[in-house]
Structure 1
């Protein structure tokens, strides 16, 4: 599909007399190849990352399992004592 559209574009350019537009894939490839020659440490934004005295944001650590407490091994308690501990208290007659 890109080949067909490129051929149509080249034919239309040849009719209009604009032959320099037919070489846009070559120019794009050349620009891409030359972009690899740029230095890797350009000053895009902020300080140089190789500078040890550069100020950076504080990195905090938050554990994802901090509230976890292990429940193993748990000694089984007598079930009657546990049941009585959570049962509602009987009402006193007045």
Structure 2
């Protein structure tokens, strides 16, 4: 990418007058790439994670399958009764 930016800058300088913008763009890309490699020197939030005496929030446990109840083995009801229970009732006014 840097070679491409350098070639772009060289081509722009040959045209004249526009190379200033490409040099700043190249400088900004390099600065951004180097900034990503720098270690963080300031503490953003909270205590140091390496400090064993640091206060932390209490840990709670909630089961992901707590409301589960087993339905097996279940005795099946007769299919006719189960079918009649969910069938819509016929209308009386017709």
TM-score calculated relative to the size of structure 2: 0.48
Greater relative CO, 1 or 2 (CA 8 Å, sep 6+): 2
TM-score calculated relative to the size of structure 1: 0.48
Bigger radius of gyration, 1 or 2?
A: 1
